[in-house]
Amino acid sequence: MAATAAALVMSGCSVLEPDKIDYKSSGRGVSLEVPPDLSQLPGQSRYSVQGGSVTATGYQAGQTAAQAAGTPTASNQLADVHFMRQDGERWLRVDRPPEKLWGTVRDFWLESGFLLAVDQANMGIMETDWAENRGKIPQDFIRNTVGKVFDSLYSTGERDKFRTRMERNAQGGTDVYVTHRGMEEVYSSTRKDNTVWQPRARDPELEAEFLRRMMVKLGVSQERAKAMQAAAVTAQASTPNARVVSAAGVPAVQLNEDFDRAWRRVGLALDRTGFTVEDRDRSKGIYFVRYVDPTAEKKDPGFFGKLIGRTSQQLPTSQYQVAVRTQGQSTLVTVQDRAGAQASGADGQRIVQVLADELK
């Protein structure tokens, strides 16, 4: 990509205007199967699709049957979709099991201009490829005339990807989380004759906007979705405290909050900080992960190298367990190796510090 093109339209502001969101995938898509360096853990089938995707006609038939049976339904929203906010985090709570949501959420991302790099219903994880928000390109006179013919010459100098994680809650419904990761193209020298791609800060407002749009896809009216989002913004959030402590001689993260909040926040931290969550077991308080050092992305040969899988800088390559356990009035987060023993080496310390920095 030409540096001059990137410089013309590079913007550091957050995307807050819904009419300026128009994503276009940067690639042709990758295999939706588990990457060859990942191994599926056995015996985990709680997210397996049992009833298939929900179709519009099937859903309407269900609504008609419910009304005939005397079940009250709202005229402008589905009562089973809720916009949640706590501790500065936002997510959806839907009173349907994950297998009844998967197909609809997949369609949502495809209709939003993305391709899917990860589509693993058995793990409850869906991730888009890198895409560019073409809505951020200025619509000036040149862009509206010559620019439409040579569209590829214009670029925002930014790319975004989103991870969706669905987790069955205690009520049998589903908590749906959306996390954003971004890259930006910057000059690599003072002469401005070359550019490199590097990570940029996540955009929480962009996460919230896609959650709102997802609500509409799930059946909530536009007006009701906006009202529910606005009401959630006014909700008061506490200020959790995360600090690194020593547990049995190894570093750990201590959170002054109960297990439910800690489990949710640790999951979001893993989604945002370069981890691949291969599986999780809430009953045991364990996330099974692979860790990718975030600094490795800065050394990558190029943005499009990421699209085709040139990730030689990924370290370490072994699996880890991130354990979330109640300890008195607080919760302790520790890092274990694949066998469940405490990871006391440099890798374990690095992972603990990454989590602590994100959870603060």
Mean pLDDT of 328-333: 91
β partners of residue 247: 250
CA distance 161 to 183: 9
**Per-residue confidence band for 235, with pLDDT thresholds at 50, 70 and 90:** low
Distance CA 32, CA 278 (A): 14
This prediction has a pTM of: 0.70
What pLDDT is attached to residue 275? 84
- Asked whether residue 208 carries a pLDDT value surpassing 80, the answer given is yes
Most confident of 61-70, 108-117, 315-324: 108-117
Reported as a single tens digit per residue, the pLDDT across 334-357 is: 999 888 888 877 878 888 999 999
Q: What is the pLDDT of residue 236?
A: 53
- Closest alpha carbon to 11 in 102, 98, 137, 126: 137
Tokens 């309407």 — which residue? 60
Q: Which of 58-72, 123-137, 144-158 has the lowest mean pLDDT?
A: 58-72
pLDDT band (50, 70, 90) for residue 18: low
Average of per-residue pLDDT across 137-146: 54
Q: Which two tokens stand for residue 250?
A: 């190894």
Q: What's the N-to-C CA distance of the chain in angstroms? A: 36
Report the C-alpha gap between 332 and 259 in whole angstroms.
9
Q: Return d(Cα 111, Cα 216) in angstroms, integer.
A: 13
- Report residue 54: phi and psi, to 5°: -85, 125
Least confident of 39-48, 189-198, 214-223: 39-48
pLDDT score of 137 more than 80: no
Q: Indicate the average pLDDT of the chain.
A: 75
Q: Would you list the domain boundaries of the chain?
A: 1-236, 238-360
Contact present, 257 and 328 (Cβ < 8 Å):
no
The per-residue pLDDT for 345 is: 77
- For 285, the token pair is 């308080």
CATH superfamily of 238-360: Outer membrane protein assembly factor BamC (3.30.310.170)
Task: List the single range of 24-33, 104-113, 213-222 with lowest mean pLDDT.
Answer: 24-33
Using alpha carbons only, how large is the chain's radius of gyration in Å? 22
Contact 115, 128 (CB under 8 A): yes
Percent of the chain having pLDDT more than 70?
A: 66
ω into 301 cis (within 30 of 0): no
Nearest CA to 207 out of 233, 181, 239 is that of 181
270 near 333, Cβ under 8 Å? no
